Chains A and B, each alone.
Chain A
Amino acid sequence: MNSLHQQSDAELVRQAKRGSTKALDALVQRYALPLYSFIRALAGSSSLANELYQETWYRCFQALRTRYRERGHFRTWLFGIAVNVVRQSRQQSRTLPLDEDRFDTLVSQEHSEDEVVNGERKRYLYRAIARLPEPEREVVLLRLQSDLTFREIAEVLNKPLNTVLSHMHRAVKRLRSELKELA
């Protein structure tokens, strides 16, 4: 018998809906890091990201308990919830602060010269992404941070694939321009 971590999302969802907390926990473990990284990059501050991350899972559990139907992929559905949670938070607070200190900390923890250069690049890249318009930032983070395909991103954001690719193209142009100095 396959262990829970080898089973597909759909199978884990079915077991979770039948009452298996182990299956639900396996789903949480599977998506914890990509989901949290995505939310944290979108939200800005760590404390807010923690709150939105918990809220995303809470809504996921609620929907699984009541209205979730297996029409699409679980992970695109989950990231769709995360996007909505972050957007609603942004509407309520109007601005989400940019937590640049976390990348400064990241750089200070690295030791070799290459690692410092790499850390510098990450910091510039992060700041450049943080300055992108919202639709472009969502696409870039879902692709780079959460490793979703562009078709999955289109599903998450409920937009046509070509629109998603246009956002990515515009984002790449901006990022190239922003990172020119570092290069």
Chain B
Amino acid sequence: MSRCPVNDLILYAYGELEDPEREAALFAHLRTCKSCQEELEFLRNLQRGDLEEGAKPPPVAVPPLRAPVHWRFHWLRVAAGILLFLFAAGTTWWLTTQRQDKSAFDRAVQNEILLAAQTDSLMAALRNLNLAFPGLDSGSVLADCAGTEVLSLLGNAERLLSDLRDDFQAHSGSQKEVIFQ
């Protein structure tokens, strides 16, 4: 006698045996196996209704899993808008400030050079610059100018402008406040 196909028997009893060939083999086995016939009958009697008891489940409090999606997106959009506005405003302010710093400084230097050209007194112009910008370390610039009397005022003026710019940029943090006071 062949070994009983118990797994297929159980699947068949509950309508879950989907392979026609295995089903046919099971039928062939059932014709000759009394034990499997009895087990099939028992399984068919052992149906779901046997255990139903009418017990009433207790109520369950159902919480919202999260805020509805459109509200979430709404707040995300608002937050993104605020961040974008702050970024744009900050960038505009910074660029404007930089331009103001540079143009104010250039104008001040040009005025002093013009004054020096008019008075033939570059040293006086430097002293005036130093007075106008008290935090500016223009000592080295002044020393250079003192040792270059042979240079013409106009030739020296360009170098002076460059030195002052470098010096200004190196101390721009402290100079900005002084310049715009």
Contacts and interface: CB of A to CB of B under 8 A. Distances in A.
A40 B62 contact: no
A17 B69 CA distance: 9
Interface in B17-65: 38-39, 42-43, 46-48, 50-55, 57-58, 60, 62-65
Nearest to B46: A144
A169 B57 contact: no
Contacts, number: 100
A129 B60 CA distance: 28
B53 A37 contact: yes
B75 to A, nearest CB: 13
A16 interface: yes
A125 B43 CA distance: 13
A19 B67 contact: yes
A53 B58 contact: yes
A89 interface: no
A106 B57 contact: no
B48 A145 contact: yes
A82 interface: no
Given A25-B62, A145-B48, A169 B10 contact: yes
A157 interface: no
B43 to A, nearest CB: 6
B170 interface: no
Contacts of B43: 172
A168 to B, nearest CB: 5
B80 interface: no
A58 B55 CA distance: 20
Interface string A18-36: 1111001100100011011
Contacts of A106: 53-54
B107 interface: no
Contacts of A151: 16
Contact of B48 (A144, A162, A176): A144
B85 interface: no
Contacts of A46: 55
A144 to B, nearest CB: 5
A165 B67 CA distance: 44
A147 B48 contact: yes
B39 to A, nearest CB: 6
A141 B51 contact: yes
Contact of A21 (B11, B57, B63): B63
B10 A172 contact: yes
A84 interface: no
Given A46-B55, A54-B58, 15 more contacts: A18-B66, A21-B63, A54-B60, A64-B65, A106-B54, A122-B50, A122-B51, A126-B51, A144-B46, A144-B47, A151-B16, A168-B10, A169-B7, A176-B38, A176-B39
